[in-house]
Amino acid sequence: MEVPPPLEEVEQAGEPVARVCAIDIAKASGMACTRLPHDTREGRRAQQVWAVPATTNAILELGGHLVCQGVTRVVMEATGAYWKPWFYLLEARGLECWLVNARQVKNVPGRPKTDKLDAIWLAKLTERGILTPSFVPPEPVRQLRGLTRTRTVFTDERSRHKQRVEKIPEDAQIKLSTVATDIFGVCGRAMIDALIRGERDPRVLAEIPKAGLRNKKDALIEALTGNFEQHHARLITVLLQTIDHLTTQIDTLTADIERAIDKLPDDNDGGGGGGGGGGMSLAERLDEIPGTGPHIAQAVIAELGTDMSVFPTADHLASWAKLCPRTIQSGAKSTGGKTGKGNAWLKRALGEAAMSAAKTDTFLGARYKRLVKRKGHGKALVAVARSMLVIIWHLINDPEARFNDLGSEHHQRWTDPARKTRDPVHQPERLGHQATLAPTTSSAA
């Protein structure tokens, strides 16, 4: 670590945090800035700025220096993945680390921008209590995130390879995918394997399916008539081996994810492994939500963790996940802005669940059908995803809670004409008055 420069006196701060450190992070180094109470001048601040290499030993040495200085808070800006070693190593030294959103720490326009000035500006914002920390889950949840995100990447890669396998027979005039719904099912895979082994007679290939496709024998013969060569067989063999390998890795990751969820701490006395909700695990209770499944439930736990004290209410969680529109007001005009990016992995899982829930005969499905008419497909899905996130917050926050579907008729019950007629009559009756209703008669023409 380089020797810090001499102390520099700066202006008096309003309501400062006693001892802070800010780090402007780059790939190979970081610019650290500490602001501490001045030794001799009361109400003044002492500032140090120096460069620190982004190596393990240098960061640990910085942590020891900050502990000796009595620093109570270390703040850094989220910069790609480069912030992680700084955050994790300094956190391990017992320091309170904050990761802040880059939008909150933008410098004043017109001022020079250097790493040193950025670190000083970040420290000044920190000591005045202007910044709010971003959500960084504990280490067990971070490890679970790595597993679920890797599984998602492998699943996407497997889907891309399946699409490539589907295109190769098209080059040989083999139209198997137009007849078979899933060419990677038992029957489809058996016919592809037969093509690879050298069988070219479409009538023999059409006899392979034992169920399902047996009723489409004539269509299969027509679809399997083409010019399939050894070159196509070699390409498909390589792709199928890759698909099988990815499937094995996905299954292995799923088993690791299940074990990792079982080991999560019981932050809300329900825990990842279970104990609440009538003996059901958290993943099983989340799986009861329409549209979700075991993989989506596991991904949600990995992105949110099991401690909802970070989000005081479900609305805080929806705002953090960027599943609610921004309000833009100018004078008497108020409009809704875009929701924002948020956690892409969480929004992806909720989006997939919302698309599945929209097809069900449930409250969530009815909500989608009611909104899609006037809001469109995209906004209706976002609304359903937000409703699902509210449900998830309650299930995680209360380990004894279970999902209870309100039913697809819930909205109709609230908009029932008889109910609308009855409620206005009850209001004056509660105030001690008697009211009667009589139907209107149409006047004669």
Q: What is the pLDDT of residues 272-281, one digit of tens each?
A: 555 566 678 9
- Determine if the pTM surpasses 0.95: no
pLDDT value of residue 107: 64
Cα separation, 371 vs 358, whole angstroms: 11
**pLDDT at residue 3, rounded to an integer:** 44
- pLDDT given for residue 280 in this prediction: 85
Residues 203-226 have a mean pLDDT of 85
User: Between 199 and 423, where is the model more confident?
Assistant: 199
The answer, yes or no, to whether residue 427 has pLDDT greater than 50, is yes
How does DSSP assign 159-217, residue by residue?
A: HHHHHHHHHHHHHTT--GGGT-S-TTSHHHHHHHHHHHHT---HHHHHTS--SSGGGGH
- For the cut 50, the answer to whether the pLDDT of residue 426 exceeds it is yes
Average pLDDT over residues 206-216: 80
* 228-246 residue pLDDT tens: 899 999 999 999 999 999 9
- Boundaries of every domain in the chain: 8-127, 141-262, 282-328+336-397
Instruction: State the pairing for strand pair 97-100/73-77.
Output: parallel
pLDDT of residue 276: 61
The pLDDT value recorded for residue 244 is: 95
Q: Would you say domain 8-127 falls under CATH 3.30.420.10?
A: yes
Q: What is the mean pLDDT of residues 165-192?
A: 88
Report how far residue 211's alpha carbon sits from residue 430's, in angstroms, rounded to the nearest whole number: 67
> For residue 13, what pLDDT is reported?
33
Nearest Cα to 74, choosing from 84, 82, 63?
63
- In the chain, the percentage of residues whose pLDDT exceeds 90 is 53
pLDDT at 79: 83
Reduced to 3 states, what is the DSSP secondary structure of residue 291?
Answer: coil
What is the reported pLDDT for 273?
57
The one-letter amino acid code at 101 reads N
More confident residue, 103 or 55: 55
pLDDT band at 7 (very low <50, low <70, confident <90, very high): very low
User: Residue 11 has what pLDDT?
Assistant: 35
pLDDT greater than 90 at residue 12: no
Q: How far apart are CA 95 and CA 307, in angstroms?
A: 21
Instruction: Convert the pLDDT of each residue in 360-418 to its tens digit.
Output: 999 999 999 999 998 899 999 999 999 999 999 999 999 999 999 988 888 777 776 77
pLDDT digit string, tens, across residues 327-339: 788 778 877 777 7
- Which strand (E) or helix (H) includes residue 151? helix 139-171
Percent of the chain whose pLDDT exceeds 70: 91
How confident is the prediction for the chain on average, in pLDDT? 86
**3-class SS of residue 87:** helix
What are the two backbone dihedrals, phi and then psi, of residue 312, each rounded to the nearest 5 degrees?
Answer: -55, -35
Helix axes 139-171, 294-304, angle to 10 degrees: 140
The per-residue pLDDT for 147 is: 97
Higher pLDDT, 3 or 341: 341
User: What is the CA angle 182-188-190, rounded to 5?
Assistant: 155
